[in-house]
Amino acid sequence: MSEVKYSKEHEWIKIEGDVGTVGITQHATEMLGDIVFVELPDVGSSVEKDGNAGVVESTKAASDVYTPISGEVMENNQAIVDDPGKINSDPENEAWFFKLKIKDSSELDSLMNKEEYDKFAKESGN
């Protein structure tokens, strides 16, 4: 059974055992516009909850990507580096950013479920 949770920085994380797959939400891509460049954290690097874990650039501006929870990066998605347009077309599935080994699963408690996130995104407007 997998579960998907969401951060206030508009990242999603799919949890399967002690592995989390992280990406940015559809709502985030709509705010950003056409994404043309992405920088991902290196495999083997450690990322800290709410810390920097890459960059996306749209035709308009650069935005930081944050990791919703801490862990060690196991894999990053080279397919979106080669074709950043995939992030716009399928942000919450094919265009995942990186997979990490979850360090502390209690960090997941602070994240939102789908319903909470949708409400948050609609109200925050950004």
Contacts to another protein by CB under 8 A: 33-34, 36-37, 55, 57-62, 81, 84-85, 88
The whole-angstrom separation of Cα 13 and Cα 107 is 12
Given the complex with another protein, which of 14 and 90 has the nearer CB atom? 90
CB of 76 vs another protein, minimal distance in Å: 15
| CA nearest to 111, candidates 22, 32, 19 | 22
User: 64 Cβ partners below 8 Å, 6+ apart?
Assistant: 52, 54, 55
Given the complex with another protein, which of 109 and 125 has the nearer CB atom? 125
Given the complex with another protein, which of 50 and 57 has the nearer CB atom? 57
Q: How far is CA 29 from the centre of its chain?
A: 11
CB of 47 vs another protein, minimal distance in Å: 16
